[in-house]
Structures are given as C-alpha cells and as structure tokens.
Amino acid sequence: MPAKAIHSCIRVLDEARSVAFYEEAFGLTVADKLDFPDFTLIYMSNPLSAFELELTINKGTTEPYDLGNGYGHFAVSVEDLEVEHARMEAAGLAPGKIVDFAPAGTRVAKFFFITDPDGYKIEVIERGGRFL
C-alpha cells in the first residue's frame, strides 16, 4: 500500500520568529497548534498543498540545534522564480543567488536557497518539468 507524505518536522527555538518567517517567505499559515508541557507543535500549510511543515518548539531549549554537516533541506515550487527572489530580497530575507542548473546542457532546475532563522535551508524551485 502506498504511503502519503503529510508533514516534515523541524525544531525551532523561537515560535514567533519562525512562524513569521514561514508566513513571509512562503505564505504558510498556522493550520494547527498543539501545546504540551514540554513542547509545542505548530503545523503550517497553504491552500496549494495538503503537505504541512511541523515546527517543534522544545520548551526550555535555549541553544541552537546542531543541524549536522549534511545538506538536508525542505523544498517548495513557485511560478516565477525571479519575482519570488525579488520579493524575498525586498523583505530582507536574504535569498541566495539564482542557479540555472543544467550540468549536461539541459536544464534540470532553476532555483535558489534561503535560510530560515534556525539555519535550515529551503530550496525554492521554479515550477516546470518534474517540479510542479
């Protein structure tokens, strides 16, 4: 039986700062919030997808999380990459440079990365090909 992807979790230090970033950068809004004695879970989404980003806030944690040396990341697709890059730049979100990725001469993807307040990388890919 196939599985349905429903959410991905990241651990964040500051709830308000992270919620504001994901709202501003990607138009995600809080779909649900579950508060427990030791941690809070915030589910963020938008009408384009049922998939959610789960922000986990471990109460009492004051030091940044060790993200390791891998290159794990969350990815979103957008209709017009240049427009989104300019919008994020104007909002002070410091997007990285736009990359036209065509290692064998044929475009695989056009994208840039942006980093959230906790150091997580988010890949922003222009819609097209396999990235719809």
pLDDT of residue 58: 96
Is the model's pLDDT at 68 over the cut of 90?
no
| Active site annotation includes 123 | yes
Looking at the chain, which residues constitute the CATH 3.30.720.110 domain(s)?
71-132
Q: Quote the CA–CA distance of 67 and 35 in Å, as a whole number.
A: 24
Strand 49-58 and strand 121-126: pairing?
A: unpaired
pLDDT in tens, 2-13: 878 899 999 999
In single-letter form, the type of residue at position 59 comes to K
CA distance 15 to 10: 12
pTM of the model: 0.89
Question: Can you tell me which residue has the tokens 């036209």?
Answer: 100
Q: Where in the chain is the domain with CATH 3.10.180.10?
A: 1-61
Neighbours of 110 (CB within 10 A): 19
Does residue 1 have a pLDDT over 80?
Answer: no
The rounded distance, in Å, linking the Cα atoms of 32 and 4 is 19
Count of H-run helices and E-run strands, the chain: 2, 8
DSSP run (H or E) holding 34? strand 29-35
Q: Which of 52, 63, 82, 123 is catalytic?
A: 123
Q: Looking at the chain, how many residues does it have?
A: 132
Q: What is the mean pLDDT of the chain?
A: 93
Predicted confidence at residue 84, as pLDDT, reads 95
Query: Tell me, what's the pLDDT at 71?
Result: 78
| CATH domain 71-132 topology | 3.30.720
The second-level CATH assignment, the architecture, of 1-61 is: Roll (3.10)
pLDDT in tens, 70-98: 778 889 999 999 999 999 999 999 999 99
